[in-house]
Structure 1
Amino acid sequence: MTAPRQPPTVLFVDDDPDLREGIGESFELAGIAVQVFSSADLVLERVTRSLNGIIVTDIRMPGMDGASLMRSALEIDPALPVIVITGHGDVPMAVETMRDGAYDFIEKPFAMDRLLIACRRALEKRRLVLEVRALRDVLDQQKALAARLVGRSWAMERLRAEITALAGTDANVLIHGETGSGKEVVARALHDFSERAEKPFVAINCGALPADIIESELFGHEAGAFTGAARQRIGKIEHAAGGTVFLDEIESMPLDLQVKLLRTIEERRIERLGSNRSIGVDVRFVAATKEDLAAASASGRFRADLYYRLDVANLHIPPLRERRDDIPLLFFHLAREARARYRREIPEMTPEMEARLLAHDWPGNVRELRNVADRFVLGLYRIAEDAPRPREAPGMDERSLAERVDDFERAQIRAELKRSEGRLKPVYERLQISRKGLYDKMRRLGIEGAEG
C-alpha cells in the first residue's frame, strides 16, 4: 500500500544536546520539518534513495564522525545533499569533504539564517532529483507495460494508462474481456507495477475448479474438516499474503461461495473450513470475466452485492477485431517470442497473408493469434493460402465494403513499406500507382511513412 508522502525534512545530527535543541527550534520556527539525532548511526538507518530530505551533520562526533556519515550516505544515494558543520580548526577537513561530495559546509560559529538558506537550497535540489527519478520510473513503467500489452490503438493506449493509474492503489478491479484477450496479463501488470510486486500473485480459475473443492482451495481447511482432510491446508487467499489474488472466470463461482467471498473482501478476514478462528489477510482482489456481470446480477445468476464490491474499477480489454490496426504489430511481437522459443528464423510475411490476418475476426483473440504466429515461425504457414481466412458465416463481419477495402489497402501498403524498409519509391512502383496516389492513400489510411 502507498505510504503517506513524507514532508521535506532536515536530518540534523550533533552530539551537543543544547545545540540540537536550539537548532531544532530554529528550523521549526522557520517552517522546515526537522528530526534531530545524537549520533550518526541513527541518521544512517533512515537514509534511502527515496528519502525526501537532506542531512546536516557536525564533522567531529564520537563514534562515526560526520565525514564517515557523509561517505556512507552517498554510497546509498550519491545525489543526497549533505551539509557539514565544522569548527574553526577543521576547515581543511571540511574542504576535503566538499571534494568527496558534500553539498556545502558551514563554519562555527554561524548565523542561523546562513544555515537556513543553505538548507532551503539543498531541499529544493533534493525535490528536483526525486521528481526526475519519479518521472523516469513512470517512463520505464510505461515502456515495460507497452512490451506486455502491445498495440498503438487508442483503446490500448487508454488501457495502459488505466493500468498505470490503478497499479499503485489497492482498489478492487474487475477486468472484462473475451476469451484469449489477455485478462491474466492485465491482472499481472496491475500486480507487477504495484508495491505488492515482491509478494505472491495467486491466480485462481473459478471455472476450472469443481464446486466441491473450490471453497477449500480459496480458504483452506483444518485437519479433519471433511473426509480426506488429513492435514491442515493453507488456502490460496491466505497464501497470497501481501500480494494479489486474481479470480478468473468469477462468473463461474457458486452463489453460496460468493457470500463468503463478499465477506472476505469487505472485512479482509477469512476462516478456514473446520475452524472458528478469523484470520486477517492483506491482499488485493482482481477479478476477471467474459460475461456481463451487471446483467448476470440482474437475472440472479451472480450476486449484485459482490459485483458492486468487485467493480470499484473496471478495465475493458478490446477484442482484436476492434483494433485491427494492432494485428500486424502484435503478430510480429508474438513471432519474435516464438523465434526465441523455437530458435527458428521468422519467415517473410507476404502482403496477402497480412491482409488475411487483418480480415480474420479472431474469435480466440491474442491466444489464437499466438498460435498462428507459432505455426508461422515453425514453417507451417509458408504460403498465403494457409493463413486464416475471414469467417464466412453471414452477418459475422459487420464492416462495410469500404471499410474492408481500406483494411486490405492498409495491409498491402504496410507490407510493402516493411519490405522496402520505409523507402517509398519501390512501394509505389510495385503497387503501380503514382507517388501522389501513395501519399494520398497513406494520409487517408493513417499510415506513417517510416512504418515497416
Structure 2
Amino acid sequence: MQPLNTTSLDTTPTPSVLLVDDEEHIRISAGQSLELGGYDVVTEASAEKALALLEVAWPGVLVSDINMPGMDGLELMKKVQAIDPDIPIILITGHGDISMAVNAMRDGAYDFIEKPFSTDLLLDIVRRATEKRALTLENRRLRQELEAQNAPGPRIIGNTPSVQNLRRLVFAVADTPADILILAETGSGKDLMARYIHEHSNRRSNNFVAINCGAVPESLIESELFGHEKGAFTDAKARRIGKFEHANGGTLFLDEIESMPLALQVKLLRVLEERTIERLGSNELIPLDIRVIAASKTDLKTMAEQGDFREDLYYRLNVVRIDIPPLRNRIDDIPLLFQHFSIIAAAQYNRDVPSISAERMHRLVTHDWPGNVRELRNLAERYVLLGESCTFDFDNRPITDAETGKMTLPEQVERFEKMLLQAELASHGGSIKDTLLGLGLPRKTLYDKMQKYGLDKNDYKP
C-alpha cells in the first residue's frame, strides 16, 4: 500500500470497474475495452471473490453477469447493496433474463446490458454510472465535512487548499484501521489533529489516550506503554494497566515518537505487526483492537538514514501520512483562526470579543509565525485580555519592505482589501447588514468581493 500524504493526495478517485463473469472470453474482451476506455479494471470469475473486494466508499462500478454458478448476479447485487447501497450495479443478461433484469432495476440496479453487446454501449453505460458514483461520493464527503465543522469537539479551522486537503484525507482514512503518522512543526496542532481523527472515526466512543514519548523517563516509558504485573520490578507493588491496554478499542497517540528509545521501538514494531502486548512480568498475550497515531516534529526518514530511528518502524508507521502545513504557508486562514481563538478566550474570561483593525490584521498576516498556531492562539488570548494595549509588533520588529515586496502592487491592494473585509466581518460576527454599514458598500458590491476572496459570513459567526 502506498503512503498517502497531503501533498500528493488526488481528491478525485480513479474510475474503477469490477467485472464479474464466469465466461473467460467476456472477461477478456470486455475488460480490454474498459481498460482502453481509461478505467482501472479488475475481473473475477465468481461473485464470491468479487464481493471480498468491495467496501463502503469504493470509487467504482460493478458489472456482473446474472447467470453464474454458485452465487448469481442478483444475489451478488443484494450483498453489494448491503455494503454500500449507492454502488452502481450493471447487470449482463442473456435473452431470457430481460424480465429478471427489469425487476432488478426496480430493486436498485443501475442498468442492464443484453448479450451480445457492443463496446460503445458498454462504455456509455459505464461512463454514466461512474459519473453518478463520483457525484454520490463527493456529496457524501461534503455532508461529512459540514457535519464535522458544525459538530462539537476538535475542528480543523481554515479554508485554504492545504487545509481542505487535510480534511479530505482525514475523512478518507478515519474509519479505516490504518495507523497514521503526523509530521508537523512545533505548535502546528499535532495533538488536535490526532483528537480530530479519533472524534470523527468509528472509535470515538472508546478511549483516546495520549502520551508524550519525550516527557516520560526512559526507565518508565516501557511500563507506561505496556503496563506491569505486581512484583515485575522493585517498585511494582500492584498491577498497572498500560496505555496500549487502556486505549484498547480506541486510539493511542504517541507524540514526539522520535524521542522513543531504539530498544523500545523494536517492541512497538512488534505490537503494530501482531496487535498484541504483554504486561511486564507476564507471559499472557493481550489482543488489541487499536489505532496508533504517531507524531513527530522532525524528519523520521532522515533520522532513520542516520541510524537514530528504526527504518522498519518508520516504514510501518508511514502507511498514511499527514503533513500539517506551518501557519506561514496558510496565511489566508489567519483572520479566521484569530477570530476563532478570540471567541474561545472571550468565553473563558467572560470578556467581549474585541474588534481588530485592518492595520493589526496586516501585522498578523505579515508575521512569519515561528510558533505556528499556538503562537497565534496565545496572541488572541492576550488581545482579549489587554485590548488595544496588546502589542502586535512581535518584539518591536518593524514590517520590512522584504515582507511586502514579494507581491506586486495589485496583489498588495487585493490582500489589504481582503483583510479589511475579514476584519469587518469578524468585528460584526458575520452580519452582512453591519458589515455593509461599516464599509459603506452596496450589498451587491460586498457580495461580489466576498465571492472573489472566498469569504463566507458563517465562518465569522460567534
- TM-score using structure 1 length: 0.65
- The answer for the alignment partner of 1:143 in structure 2 is 146
**1:292–1:446 distance in 2 versus 1, CA, 3 Å:** farther
- The answer for the alignment partner of 1:361 in structure 2 is 368
2:74 matched to 1:32? Answer: yes
**1:51–1:316 distance in 2 versus 1, CA, 3 Å:** closer
Deviation (angstroms), 1:192 = 2.1
Q: Structure 1 unaligned runs (5+)?
A: 8-24, 36-48, 54-111, 430-435
For the residue of structure 2 that corresponds to 1:32, the secondary structure is helix
Q: Among 184, 187, 207, which residue is 1:200 paired with? A: 207
Write the distance in 1 (CA, Å) between the matches of 2:206 and 2:192: 17
2:121 matched to 1:121? Answer: no
Deviation (angstroms), 1:265 = 0.8
- The answer for the alignment partner of 1:389 in structure 2 is 393
Name the aligned partner's letter for residue 447 of structure 1.
Answer: Y
Write the distance in 1 (CA, Å) between the matches of 2:351 and 2:275: 49
The answer on whether the counterparts of 1:362 and 1:368 sit within 8 Å (CA) in structure 2 is yes
- The answer for the alignment partner of 1:309 in structure 2 is 316
- TM-score using structure 2 length: 0.64
Deviation (angstroms), 1:114 = 9.1
Deviation (angstroms), 1:194 = 2.1
**1:401–1:347 distance in 2 versus 1, CA, 3 Å:** same
Q: Structure 2 unaligned runs (5+)?
A: 1-51, 57-66, 86-96, 111-132
Q: Among 387, 401, 405, which residue is 1:401 paired with? A: 405
2:165 matched to 1:158? Answer: yes
The answer on whether the counterparts of 1:146 and 1:160 sit within 8 Å (CA) in structure 2 is no
2:181 matched to 1:177? Answer: no
Name the aligned partner's letter for residue 165 of structure 2.
Answer: R
Write the distance in 2 (CA, Å) between the matches of 1:6 and 1:167: 14
- The answer for the alignment partner of 1:415 in structure 2 is 423
2:259 matched to 1:252? Answer: yes
After TM superposition, the structure 1 stretch with the greater mean CA deviation from structure 2, 164-173 or 325-334, is: 164-173
The answer on whether the counterparts of 1:359 and 1:390 sit within 8 Å (CA) in structure 2 is no
Write the distance in 2 (CA, Å) between the matches of 1:450 and 1:235: 46
For the residue of structure 2 that corresponds to 1:251, the secondary structure is helix
Number of positions where the alignment pairs a residue of Structure 1 with one of Structure 2: 354
- The answer for the alignment partner of 2:38 in structure 1 is none
Deviation (angstroms), 1:235 = 0.9
Deviation (angstroms), 1:249 = 0.7
**1:144–1:287 distance in 2 versus 1, CA, 3 Å:** farther
1:64-103 to structure 2, matched below 5 A, reads none
For the residue of structure 2 that corresponds to 1:389, the secondary structure is coil
**1:401–1:298 distance in 2 versus 1, CA, 3 Å:** same
Name the aligned partner's letter for residue 389 of structure 1.
Answer: D
**1:245–1:419 distance in 2 versus 1, CA, 3 Å:** closer
Q: Among 450, 453, 456, which residue is 1:447 paired with? A: 453
The answer on whether the counterparts of 2:180 and 2:292 sit within 8 Å (CA) in structure 1 is yes
Deviation (angstroms), 1:341 = 2.8
Q: Which has the larger radius of gyration?
A: 1
The answer on whether the counterparts of 1:355 and 1:411 sit within 8 Å (CA) in structure 2 is yes
Q: Among 213, 222, 243, which residue is 1:215 paired with? A: 222
Deviation (angstroms), 1:376 = 2.4
Deviation (angstroms), 1:447 = 2.8
2:296 matched to 1:289? Answer: yes
For the residue of structure 1 that corresponds to 2:218, the secondary structure is coil
Deviation (angstroms), 1:398 = 7.1
- The answer for the alignment partner of 1:268 in structure 2 is 275
Name the aligned partner's letter for residue 235 of structure 2.
Answer: G
Write the distance in 2 (CA, Å) between the matches of 1:395 and 1:356: 8
Deviations 1:161-205 (A, max 9, x none): 111111122222110111221112211222222222222211111
**1:33–1:396 distance in 2 versus 1, CA, 3 Å:** farther
**1:417–1:338 distance in 2 versus 1, CA, 3 Å:** closer
Write the distance in 2 (CA, Å) between the matches of 1:225 and 1:404: 68
2:373 matched to 1:370? Answer: no
After TM superposition, the structure 1 stretch with the greater mean CA deviation from structure 2, 223-232 or 332-341, is: 332-341
Deviations 1:63-84 (A, max 9, x none): xxxxxxxxxxxxxxxxxxxxxx
Deviation (angstroms), 1:271 = 1.3
Deviations 1:5-29 (A, max 9, x none): 699xxxxxxxxxxxxxxxxx9xx99
The answer on whether the counterparts of 1:360 and 1:389 sit within 8 Å (CA) in structure 2 is no
Deviation (angstroms), 1:263 = 1.0
Deviation (angstroms), 1:321 = 1.1
Name the aligned partner's letter for residue 401 of structure 1.
Answer: G
Name the aligned partner's letter for residue 106 of structure 2.
Answer: R
Deviation (angstroms), 1:363 = 2.1
Deviation (angstroms), 1:135 = 6.9
For the residue of structure 1 that corresponds to 2:322, the secondary structure is strand
Deviation (angstroms), 1:123 = 4.1
For the residue of structure 2 that corresponds to 1:314, the secondary structure is strand
Write the distance in 1 (CA, Å) between the matches of 2:267 and 2:243: 14
Deviation (angstroms), 1:142 = 0.7
**1:29–1:142 distance in 2 versus 1, CA, 3 Å:** closer
After TM superposition, the structure 1 stretch with the greater mean CA deviation from structure 2, 114-123 or 301-310, is: 114-123
Deviation (angstroms), 1:248 = 0.6
For the residue of structure 2 that corresponds to 1:245, the secondary structure is strand
Higher RCO (C-alpha under 8 Å, 6+ residues apart): 2
**1:235–1:416 distance in 2 versus 1, CA, 3 Å:** closer
**1:402–1:117 distance in 2 versus 1, CA, 3 Å:** closer
Deviation (angstroms), 1:133 = 9.7
Deviation (angstroms), 1:424 = 7.0
Write the distance in 1 (CA, Å) between the matches of 2:399 and 2:424: 31
